[in-house]
Amino acid sequence: MLSNAIRPICRNVLARTGCVRTSFARNAHDLTPKDKPLMDLLPIPEGSWEEAYKAKQAKYNIHLAAGVLFFAFTLGVAYKGGYLFLNALLPPLPEKK
């Protein structure tokens, strides 16, 4: 019974010193105090969030408008070229002989 209590302690000590690798999840990412993430390491916001938001939205709106115009141009070229029939107008009349 004493060996059951001592074995995990020895295994942890050997794993921490680097002598033995264990597959325990708690030892897989053992962070030393210098490696622990801290709130001080996060970036500090600068400037107005509203200005950055408006600049991003302006860029996204330009992309949206360009996409809509390109789609309309492609649709118009396909329709004028006879590759597309939208069924919005009257059905085509048969040609007279």
Q: What is the pLDDT of residue 96?
A: 81
How far is the C-alpha of 90 from the C-alpha of 97, rounded, in Å? 20
Instruction: Let me know the angle formed at the C-alpha of 85 by 80 and 76, rounded to the nearest 5 degrees.
Output: 35
| Same domain assignment for residues 57 and 80 | yes
Residue 96 counted as domain residue? no
In a domain, 94, yes or no: no
Domain that holds residue 53: 46-89
pLDDT of residue 9: 74
Per-residue pLDDT of the chain (97 residues; tens, 9 = 90+): 666 777 777 777 766 665 555 555 555 555 566 677 788 888 888 999 999 999 999 999 999 999 999 999 999 999 899 888 777 666 667 888 7
Whole-angstrom Cα distance, residue 74 to residue 72? 5
> Does residue 51 sit within a domain?
yes
What's the confidence (pLDDT) of residue 61?
98
- Statement to judge: residues 52 and 22 lie in one domain: no
